[in-house]
Amino acid sequence: MLRVWVTVSAKALENAQALESLLIQQGIVAIARAGLDVTQVALLRETGVVVITDTAEGTDTTLIMEAVEELADKIVELVRL
């Protein structure tokens, strides 16, 4: 089961619902939430859901862009590698 943890800026997470919607259209189930702690992320990762948060500790990758469409495209690339 795929487990990906992506860190983005808090500004990018202002559009979390739009980001989740774009990813679901690509067949990727993700949860985008600010302020998740390491324990919460670990639990979410066990579900196989892509976790997108502003918490950087233990992250798989960090994406710097803030445009929702760009983020969605990059996350799709990461997941499909």
Question: 3-class SS at 59?
Answer: coil
Q: How far is CA 3 from the centre of its chain?
A: 10
Contact 65, 74 (CB under 8 A): yes
User: What's this model's pTM, rounded to 2 decimal places?
Assistant: 0.86
Mean pLDDT, all residues of the chain: 88
Quick: pLDDT tens for 4-20: 889 999 899 999 999 99
Quick: pLDDT tens for 20-43: 999 999 999 999 999 988 888 888
Separation CA 18–CA 60 (nearest Å): 22
